[in-house]
Amino acid sequence: NAGVTQTPKFQVLKTGQSMTLQCAQDMNHNSMYWYRQDPGMGLRLIYYSASEGTTDKGEVPNGYNVSRLNKREFSLRLESAAPSQTSVYFCASRETGRSVETQYFGPGTRLLVL
Amino acid sequence: DQQVKQNSPSLSVQEGRISILNCDYTNSMFDYFLWYKKYPAEGPTFLISISSIKDKNEDGRFTVFLNKSAKHLSLHIVPSQPGDSAVYFCAASVGTGNQFYFGTGTSLTVIP
């Protein structure tokens, strides 16, 4: 049982390049989330998907797009990367309607934008 | 503007002693609070929670206290163990919805 997996683990981009961060969960959860963690800022919600086919903006959505490909997968896309998007990105999933304690996080993707 | 704040970036405690981690929030609508623990190169894992109808919740060595009037919560770890060394995040939400607001984290070091 892998839980929440994220790829890649680490990526270096040049300003203006695009990339997609992948996330998959094998717990049959309805809700999935993307967060970024920056020094001195804690974790901030970028986007979330309460169920397959729906997505909603979180606290810091600008510069990102998301796709809920199916129930298992939720991807985060940077169309034109900027140095301000250098961060550690975490994906999480939760069974909607269950307690908030059931939010599980992936190991993170460390992104450096030069 | 940071709605959840952890003003102590780091804390060192001797093994066996009590660790007290603090968290303040500004949004009076928050009514559900959580603590997460994070080891390096791993994602956060849930530790303990409390709803606003309570002022204390205990789970083994971990106790969370909530002071609604002060908009303050704290996590007590007794006794502290070296394996507790990690970064601790507090988080808050309005109900059990999808928007969670995290603090900046406190790095706890338990010295053997």
Interface size, chain A vs chain B, as Cβ–Cβ contacts under 8 Å: 60
Cα gap A114→A102, rounded to integer Å: 36
Dig out the tokens for B67 from the structure.
């002071």
Asked if A45 and A37 touch (Cβ cutoff 8 Å), the reply is: no
Distance from CA of B15 to the nearest CA of A (A): 27
**What are the backbone angles phi and psi of residue A62, rounded to the nearest 5°?**
-65, 135
The proportion of chain B whose per-residue pLDDT surpasses 70, expressed as a percent, equals 99
The Cα-based distances of B107 to A40, A91, A95 in angstroms read 12, 22, 29
Give the sign of the dihedral formed by CA B62, CA B67, CA B73, CA B79. Answer: negative
Rg (CA), chain A: 13
Taking only residues 37 to 76 of chain B, the set having a beta carbon closer than 8 angstroms to any beta carbon of chain A reads 41-46, 49
pLDDT tens for each residue of A26-66: 999 999 999 999 987 889 999 999 888 899 999 999 999 99
Q: Which of A43, A98, A103 is the mutation pick for testing B, counting most B CBs within 10 A? A: A43
- B4 contact A CB<8A: yes
Name the residue facing A45 among B4, B45, B100 (closest C-beta): B100
Distance from CA of A83 to the nearest CA of B (A): 21
Cα gap A80→A52, rounded to integer Å: 26
- Locus of tokens 């900046």: B104
Cα gap A12→A113, rounded to integer Å: 6
The proportion of chain A whose per-residue pLDDT surpasses 70, expressed as a percent, equals 93
Strands A65-68 and A74-78: antiparallel
Element of type H or E holding A20: strand A19-25
Name the residue facing A101 among B49, B104, B105 (closest C-beta): B49
User: Given this model, what pLDDT does residue A100 score?
Assistant: 60
**What are the backbone angles phi and psi of residue B60, rounded to the nearest 5°?**
65, -125
Residue A99 has pLDDT above 70, yes or no: no
Residues from chain A that touch B99, judged by Cβ atoms under 8 A, are 45, 48, 58-59
Asked if A99 and B96 touch (Cβ cutoff 8 Å), the reply is: yes
Give the residue from chain A lying closest to B105, CA to CA.
A42
Name the residue facing A100 among B4, B45, B93 (closest C-beta): B93
Residues from chain B that touch A95, judged by Cβ atoms under 8 A, are none
Residues from chain A that touch B96, judged by Cβ atoms under 8 A, are 99-100
Tally the residues of chain B.
112
- Predicted confidence band at B98 (pLDDT cuts at 50, 70, 90)? confident
DSSP-derived letter for residue A101 is: G
- Locus of tokens 């205990």: B58
Please compute, for residue B106, the number of CA atoms within 13 A of its CA located in the half-sphere on the CB side: 25
